Amino acid sequence: MTSASPTQRHWVIGDVHGCAHSLQQLIEQLPAADRLVLCGDVINRGPRILEAMELAWDLVQSGRAIWLQGNHEADLVLSLRQGTWRASSSLAGCDTYRQLGDRLCRSWLERLQQLPLTYRGQDWVATHAGFDPLSWQPHLSIRAPFWQAYDGRFGTAIVGHTPVQAVKRFGQIVMIDTGACYGGELSAYCPETGAVRSVPGLRPWSASAGWMAQVQPASLA
In the chain, where are the structural domains located? 2-220
Residue 170: strand, helix, or coil: strand
User: 132-190: per-residue pLDDT in tens?
Assistant: 999 999 999 999 999 999 999 999 999 999 999 999 999 999 999 999 999 999 999 99
Bridge partners (DSSP) of residue 145 are none
The rounded Cα 139 to chain-centroid distance in angstroms is 13
* Rounded Cα gap, residues 154 and 54, in angstroms: 31
Average pLDDT in the 33-41 region?
98
Q: What value does the CA radius of gyration of the chain take, rounded to a whole number of Å?
A: 16
* Rounded Cα gap, residues 194 and 120, in angstroms: 16
* Rounded Cα gap, residues 135 and 133, in angstroms: 6
Q: Please state the pTM of the whole predicted model.
A: 0.91
* Rounded Cα gap, residues 150 and 130, in angstroms: 9
Average pLDDT in the 12-32 region?
98
The answer to whether 3 and 181 are in contact (CB under 8 A) is no
CATH topology of domain 2-220: Purple Acid Phosphatase; chain A, domain 2 (3.60.21)
The answer to whether 184 and 46 are in contact (CB under 8 A) is no
User: 53-101: per-residue pLDDT in tens?
Assistant: 999 999 999 999 999 999 999 999 999 999 777 788 889 889 999 999 9
* Rounded Cα gap, residues 150 and 87, in angstroms: 33
pLDDT at residue 219 tops 90? no
